[in-house]
Amino acid sequence: MDNKLTARNWFYSQPKLPVPECAQCDALTVYRLGYTGQYIIEMEIESGLGGETVEIDQITDVHFNYVSISDEADCEVMATRKKRKWLSEGESVKSAINAMDVACYADQTVVTGDTLDYLSNGCIMLTRDHILERDPDVMMALGGHELTKQMQTGLPDMLPLEERLAMLKEFWPHDMHYYSRTVKDKVICVCIDNSRARFLDNQIEKLAADIQKARAKNKIILLFMHEPISPRDGKGAIPTLWYSAGADTEYDFNKNGTVGSGNMDEATAEVYRLITQNADVIKGIFCGHMHSMFYNEVRATYSDESGTHDAVIPQLISPGNAYLDHAGRVVRIIVK
């Protein structure tokens, strides 16, 4: 047994307390750690591959809100500082520390967007200090908040998007729009950017290649992105499993501009097709954005020598980290 697995087993030997405010869901096990206090959402994925268990931990919607001295000459950031009071002065650092204290035991950690509450040097500094330096191997998906300096000001960004993306590229740990990594020769973790409620042309070939690789080399793919995709399940609005203050209590993921729910540009349609027509290797979608927690199953198919088969891909819309007195909320994805 390796040292990380030994440490993980020791850490999770602490009492697991029920979380009565979270609704029951057969796909999930939710509890609070009795000694250290973090909230855990556990989801098992049956890979069908056998072998060693792999753990991937997801954290989402950290929302670092901080203005540093180096931001004081930036009129956009200072306008945001006057308006954006939620989690100001780095209040969400505590919840990030608590979540990372859990994630350090995983084989891979993925942070799925809105890590920065807005684009400032102060928010970048907190991301470096509390995410990137804690785990140099972390994977990160872009969220919409990273892309703007203007938060609750009612004003458009002065800098072109390309310049804002260039600022993010300077510290982002890998390609911002598509990045994949194989974990323990079993799971291909894919971070794919849908921060603007759409997919991108340059993601198509890369995702297709990872799908081909997974099928050829007997691996599974887990997708990590900021916004959920439409399940196209015809269910209408579903209630949240775990409400976060100020967020939605129910939501229709087949409408409301959800990625894949309506008219799509060609790139979005093609990435959505790749996801939903390869359910033999794509085994889970993990995202955030909503702050409250939801679960649904994306209608999908896969094809083999005997034909095309119906399937579903589980999609967990994970709860925001910056709530519950900053105890920290972490998704444990356990791949059997």
Beta bridge partners of 250: 239
pLDDT, mean of residues 106-132? 99
3-class state of residue 7 by DSSP = helix
Residue % of the chain over a pLDDT of 70 = 100
Burial zone of 241 (CB within 10 Å; 0-12 exposed, 13-18 middle, 19+ buried) = buried
Mean pLDDT of the chain: 97
**What digits encode the pLDDT tens for the residues 276-298?**
999 999 999 999 999 999 999 99
**What digits encode the pLDDT tens for the residues 81-103?**
999 999 999 999 999 999 999 99
**What pLDDT does 1 receive?**
53
Measured distance CA(213)–CA(220) in Å, rounded: 9
Measured distance CA(55)–CA(92) in Å, rounded: 25
pLDDT at residue 47 greater than cutoff 90: yes
3-class state of residue 237 by DSSP = coil
Structural domains for the chain: 3-335 (3.30.750.180)
What does the buried/exposed string (b/e) look like for 27-55 if buried means 16 or more CB atoms within 10 Å of the residue's CB? ebebbbbeeebbbbbbbebebeeeeeebb
